[in-house]
Structures are given as C-alpha cells and as structure tokens.
Amino acid sequence: MGIKGGYDFDKFRVYGAYEYGLKGSISESGVLANGPYDSKLEWKRHNFLVGADLTPKVGNNFKFLAGVYAGYSLLDLKADLNFGANSYSETDRVGGFIYGAKVGGIYSVNANNELELGYRYDKANYDSISNGNIDVDESNHGPYIGYNYKF
C-alpha cells in the first residue's frame, strides 16, 4: 500500500513514492534438549522510492508498462524467544538500499483515471542488526494493482 506522485510524459513517466509494507510475522515452537521453546518474529517495512517507467501506447486506451525503481527501505523488527522460564526480546530498525523492476499494463478509463496491473520484483539489502551478528536481505515478487489519477 502506498502513494506515488510524478509526471507523465506520455511515452514514459517519472515518480517518487512511499510504500508501507503490511505487518508480517512467523512463529515456531518445539522441544530442545533443555526443554520446550517458542519464538516469534514480526516485521514491517517502509520504502521511499524514485522510479521511471516506459509507457508506450499499444491501443486507444491501453499502455504497456516496463519500469525500474530504487530507494531507501526501513525495516522494523521485533523478536521474542522463550525457553521455559527464560525469555528474550529485542526490537530493532535497520535501513538499506532497495531496487526493483516491474512489467504490466495501464488501462485508461478516461482522461483523468487509469487502472494499472502488473508484476513486480524487488530486493532490499539492509544494514546489520544492531548486535552485528545478523545480516538481513529481503526480496519480494508478485502481482500488483494500482489506481492512477491524472491532474
């Protein structure tokens, strides 16, 4: 989910964007030699991007879309680990470079409204977590849908 502002030059466009990655989590439980344990990791992501897209017309109301983007990503992390009576919790925020590409199409509903549908891939390389022992890299890919309003 995000917001984007830019300029459309008809055959290509440039933009700046902010994206909020919805909160995610993963949990695990089990038994070790010392007894039972459970762990949980939660995260959310904020992306600050600039990008450029080629948007040549392929019909009256349809444009092909191929683009690249890059910027800075912030990742908020929270880890909880419980070993019987012992527990450990840590939160951290790491930042790093993000880059990606997308391909798709844009359907022009009228002069001011467009629907955008495509597939995108991005990769983020974050700084080490504060204790320095863990490097975090992330990649995402999948379909996306968007609405464009042209002033």
> What is the pLDDT, as a whole number, of residue 48?
98
Q: Grade residue 121 by pLDDT with cuts at 50, 70 and 90.
A: very high
Q: Quick one: average pLDDT of 101-124?
A: 97
pTM of the model: 0.85
pLDDT tens digits, one per residue of 74-108: 999 898 988 878 888 888 899 999 999 999 999 99
Structural domains counted in the chain: 1
Higher pLDDT, 151 or 48: 48
Domain that holds residue 142: 2-149
Q: How far is CA 112 from each of CA 50, 149, 151, rounded to the nearest angstrom?
A: 22, 6, 6
For residues 66 and 58, give the distance between their C-alpha atoms in angstroms, rounded to a whole number.
13
Residue 8 CB neighbours (<10 A): 17
Looking at residue 49, which CATH number applies to its domain?
Answer: 2.40.160
